[in-house]
Structure 1
Amino acid sequence: MAKERYHHGDLRGALLDAAETLVRERGADGWSLREASARVGVSPSAAYHHFGSRDALVSALSEVALARLGNRLRDTMDQAPEQGPERLAACGRAYVTWAVEDPAVARLVFRGGATTARSAISPHPHDVLTTELDRLTDTGHLPPEARPGAEFVVWAAIHGLAVLLIDGLVHIDDRQGIEGQTERLVFATFNGLAGETAPEPDRSMPTTTHTRRLTRSPAPGTAPRTPSP
């Protein structure tokens, strides 16, 4: 497929496809830019026109994978039959099943430094989750007092389960079981947040590379929200 895309003039896309295949075959670190170039059928010097290093290719692939995940989360929530926390449960199921279905790419994205402050990812999974929690607050499902930093609480829960599953520390036999356990986790987390009546004084607010970028460069005409994946 990579060579077919290149023959249509999309060398950058072909290199990303080749890198993704190599990640699934060997993991995040078991291959080189030269090997990705060979998979496409071009010289390494041709690849350097698009990616100055293997790390640059890995970072670009991480950005593509995160945007793909963001679309998956948003589309799955939009298909949820209910408009309350059931949409949040759908988001959690989509996140965990994505990781289980594609663990090599998930590990690539999960590790620190996969993206940089210059990475522009749309839709970013963090933004999808933040938007949903804002909606739940606006519709009265989540108390405003519980909203600051709630995305980090939800993300920590579903991300933790995803990592436990792909690292083999927790075993669930089938997809139905995985989805059921994820749903239970999300509802338990959400119910805990919904029970908060006031924020703790001097609560520290977590940040990520993405939230720090948003804080430095808010969208035109908008004020930055509480930093929140």
Structure 2
Amino acid sequence: MTKERYHHGDLRGALLDAAETLVRERGADGWSLREASARVGVSPSAAYHHFGSRDALVSALSEIVLARLGHRLRDAVEAAQEQGPERLAACGRAYVTWAVEDPAVARLVFRGGATTAQSAISPHPHDVLTRELDRLTESGHLPPGARPGAEFVVWAAIHGLAVLLIDGLVHIDDRAGVEGQTDRLVFATFHGLARETAPEPDRPTPTTTHTRRLTQSTA
């Protein structure tokens, strides 16, 4: 696939394909830009025309992976049969099963610094989750007082389960079990949030590279 893309003039895409394959084979750090170039059949100098460093290649791949995950989460939410918190559970299931199915690539984007403030990712997984929580607030399922920062609470829950599973600290035998555990976690988290009828005055305001980028672009 990578050499086909290169022969069709898409060297940048071919290098990204090669990098993703190397991540699955060796992990996030077990390969070089030179090796990615060799997989495609070009010299490192040719690769430098598209990526000035290995970090630049990793960042570009991370952006693609996160957009792919964003599409997966959005599709899962839109396919949900119910319009209440079940849609949120569908989002959680899509996130956790994605990580379990592709752990090496998941680890690549789970690390801090995987993307930068200049990374434009659409749809961003964070935005999919944010829109769903906004919808739950507008429909009356989530009190307005619980809404500020709720995406970080839900994300912490599902991300924590995903990491525990791919790091082997928690074992669940099959996908149905993973989805069932995710449902339990999401509903428990959501019901806890739903009890917050008024915002706490000292509640922290978490941020990410993506949310800071959104704030800067709005300003």
Q: Give the drift of 1:194.
A: 0.7
- Give the CA deviation at 1:195: 1.0
The residue aligned with 2:80 is 80
Q: How big is the shift at 1:8?
A: 1.1
Q: Distance in 2 between matches of 1:205 and 1:95?
A: 23
> Higher mean Cα deviation, 70-79 or 199-208?
199-208
TM-score of the superposed pair, with normalisation by structure 2: 0.99
The TM-score with structure 1 as length reference comes to 0.95
**Letter of the structure 2 residue corresponding to residue 200 of structure 1:** E
- Aligned residue type for 1:12: R
| Residue 204 of structure 1: aligned partner | 204
CA distance in 1, matches of 2:13, 2:21: 12
For 1:32, the aligned partner's letter is S
What is the distance in 1 between the residues matched to 2:195 and 2:90? Answer: 21
Equivalence for 1:171: 171
Moved over 6 A (4+): none
The answer for unaligned runs of 5 or more in structure 1 is 219-223, 225-229
Q: Distance in 1 between matches of 2:55 and 2:25?
A: 18
How large is the RMSD of aligned CA atoms in angstroms?
A: 0.7
**CA–CA separation in structure 2 for the residues paired with 1:206 and 1:65:** 23
AA aligned opposite 2:49: H
Instruction: Within 5 Å, give how 1:22-33 maps onto structure 2.
Output: 22-33=22-33
Code of the aligned partner of 1:116: T
Q: Which residue of 1 aligns with 2:109?
A: 109
Identity %: 89
Query: C-alpha separation between the residues in 1 aligned to 2:201 and 2:55?
Result: 41
Give the partner amino acid of 1:136: L
Q: Letter of the aligned partner of 1:41 in structure 2?
A: G
Distance apart, 1:9 and its partner CA = 1.1
Instruction: Tell which deviates more after alignment, 160-169 or 6-15.
Output: 6-15
Which ranges in structure 2 are unaligned for 5 or more consecutive residues?
none
Correspondence for 1:213: 213
* Cα shift readout 1:124-180 (whole Å, capped 9, x = no counterpart): 000000011001111111110000000000000000000000000000000000000
Distance (whole Å) between structure 2 residues aligned to residue 165 and residue 172 of structure 1: 8
In the other structure, the counterpart of 1:42 is: 42
What does the per-residue CA deviation read over 1:170-199, in whole Å, with 9 as the maximum and x for residues that have no partner? Answer: 000000000000000000000000111111
**1:10 aligned residue:** 10
Residue in structure 1 matched with residue 145 of structure 2 by the alignment: 145
* In structure 2, distance between residues paired with 1:197 and 1:103: 37
Q: CA deviation at 1:208?
A: 0.4
Question: Distance between the aligned counterparts of 2:81 and 2:13, measured in 1?
Answer: 36
Secondary structure of the residue aligned to 1:86 is helix
1:202 to partner: Cα distance: 2.3
Q: Is residue 126 from structure 1 mapped to residue 126 from structure 2 by the alignment?
A: yes
Distance of 2:54 and 2:216 partners within structure 1: 28
Work out the number of aligned pairs and report it: 219
The answer as to 2:94 corresponding to 1:99 is no
